[in-house]
Structure 1
Amino acid sequence: MLTSRVIPCLLLRGRGLYKTVRFSNPKYVGDPVNAVKIFNEKEVDEILLLDIAATPERREPNYELIGDIASECFMPLTYGGGVTSIEQVRRLHRVGIEKVCLNTAAFQDRRLVKESCDSFGGSSIVACIDIKKSFFGKYEVWINSGKTNTKEDPIRYAGELARLGVGEIMVNSIDRDGTMSGFDLSFLKSICSAVDTPMIACGGAGTLEHLSEVIGTAKVNAVAVGSMFVFHGKHKAVLINYPTLSQLEELQLANVSS
């Protein structure tokens, strides 16, 4: 039985939840507190909350809203977006965040990554790498919510993040975000083979089979899922959903600790 987690990934913009396609065209999908309450009822093990507007708008996290969401969340909550200092990491932990996800700031300031891991423990720090394939088929790291191409090789960068002590690395495919077309299995297999740090796959989930494939083929430790858990049917009506325990067990996705 596999022990990989299946994590709802919620995108925060302002005070609402949105869903994007390839990091563009955000569509409103509901209120974050209500979504968390529904996931509570479905006994989700963990939630990932990413503020996709904080970094582009050059503002820090909305601690009041995050605290309201965390107070309703019965499971561990990971937050990312607009985090640029160790004091912000500390404040997020104080309002109820278990893990802090660093993306743009991690790339721009390796000292922040190291200091955060040293101060709070690597298990409380997740590094996110947004990747996109170039016209020539080369994978590159993008930052600033997918607006800035660093030209960095993601596998080399992941190795550096691992050496800095992060507990997990999330690999988020811009090309597959919101498409529900399946994961980039080849790349995920390559990065998981090259770096020992636990990996979270994000970008492309559309079916339970997609989850089974990425865990079985790439050997990721967790899967972060957006559209699949907020949309339903061919017309993509908004409906918060999550697989039942029996469905996860049938696909050998259930966490042993559940």
Structure 2
Amino acid sequence: MLKKRIIPCLDVKDGRVVKGVNFVNLSDVGDPVQAAKAYYEAGCDELVFLDITATHEGRQTTLEMVRQVAEQVFIPFTVGGGISSVDQMNQMLKAGADKVAINSAALLDPSLISACAEKFGSQCVVLAVDAKKEADHSWHVYLAGGRKDTGRDLLDWVQEAVQLGAGEILLTSMDKDGTKSGFDLAMLQEVAQLVSVPLIASGGAGSSQDVVEVFEQTPATGALAASIFHYGQVSIAETKEAMKKAGLEVRINGDT
């Protein structure tokens, strides 16, 4: 059985790690390179680094920051933010990223997914999805860092993206983001029933028990968290210990 992954997320704006609630009210929580190193040393399984204003500001993620982070961590490292071409993805991979997350650009031009998958392999292509529940109880996909409702149905979009070659899905609940009220289990279950690629749950982690719950109640293979780790409310070691006690497969420091 695959070990479940704990994945801290570094949301970066203006060169600093930030965190908000429901994608707004951002506060500064530190330097991304130092944070990446600290999380790596604390035993996280992977890292995700998202430049959250790159698309909105019409630029790509800073390559130098990617290089500096890659020099500090020796675990899978995903980068996203403003990446809209095969060439830009190539630059990120050359700078040290293991995987690249695409979101808005893929929604605007889905052929980008297949082009990147053909060039680098599906395992390098992470589809990042920001979804919000609508009045009719469906979920819509948003782009530009959660600023714009595309009107696209979440379940239709993830199926299309996987068919085009996305090798992993990073699914963020905008309703749960930063609330620390637990992951959106219903949304994750719905998506997991439709696609067979690894699924990372994002949005809502408030305790180690929330992480245990998402693994026990959904087929998610990774749990992404920011607030609880950034503010020291719970450590990665404590979270993994809770997972182990619950009988979940987890990599403890020193494991191969």
What TM-score results when the alignment is normalised by the length of structure 1?
0.92
Could you tell me how far apart the structure 2 residues matched to 1:43 and 1:4 are?
13
Q: Does 1:242 align with 2:236?
A: yes
Q: Deviations over 1:104-156 (max 9, x none)?
A: 01111111110100110000110011100123433111111001101111011
One-letter identity of the residue aligned with 2:246: L
Q: Identify the residue that residue 90 of structure 1 maps to in structure 2.
A: 90
The aligned counterpart of 1:108 is: 108
1:35 aligned residue: 35
- Aligned counterparts of 2:198 and 2:174: Cα–Cα separation in 1: 20
Partner of 2:154: 154
1:44 is paired with a residue of what secondary structure? coil
TM-superposition CA deviations, 1:189-245 (whole Å, max 9, x none)? 111012222211100011111111111111111111111111145xxxxxx942345
- C-alpha distance in 1, partners of 2:113/2:39? 30
Letter in 1 for 2:243: L
Residue 179 of structure 2 aligns to a residue in which SS?
coil
SS in 1 for 2:7: strand
Q: How many Å apart are 1:2 and its aligned residue?
A: 6.2
Q: Sort the Cα spacing of 1:149 and 1:69 in 2 relative to 1 into closer, same or farther, 3 A.
A: same
Distance in 2 (alpha carbons) for counterparts of 1:58 and 1:254: 41
Q: Which consecutive residues of structure 1, in runs of 5 or more, have no partner in the other structure?
A: 234-239
Structure 1 residue ranges, 4+ long, deviating more than 4 angstroms after superposition: none
Q: What is residue 205 of structure 1 aligned with on the other side? A: 205
Aligned residues of 1:5 and 1:253 also touching (Cα < 8 A):
no
Who is 1:65 aligned against? 65
Task: Give the deviation of 1:26 after TM superposition.
Answer: 0.7
Unaligned runs of 5+ in 2: none
Are 1:11 and 1:18, in contact at CA under 8 Å, matched by a contact in 2?
yes
Identity %: 34
Decide whether aligned partners of structure 1 residues 214 and 2 sit closer, same or farther in structure 2, where only a CA change above 3 A counts.
Answer: farther
Equivalenced residues, count = 252
Residue 22 (structure 1) aligned with residue 17 (structure 2): no
8 Å Cα contact 1:63/1:92 also seen in 2: yes
Q: Once the two structures are superposed, what CA deviation does each residue of 1:22-74 show, in whole Å capped at 9, x if it has no partner?
A: 00011100011111121122122210000001011011121112111111122
Quick check: 1:85–1:112 contact (8 Å CA) kept in 2?
yes
1:54-203 equivalent positions in 2, closer than 5 A: 54-203=54-203
1:252 aligns to 2:247 (yes or no): yes
Closer/same/farther in 2, CA of residues 254 and 230 from structure 1, 3 Å limit: farther
User: In 2, Cα distance between the equivalents of 1:114 and 1:27?
Assistant: 36
Q: CA RMSD in A?
A: 1.6
TM-score (norm 2): 0.93
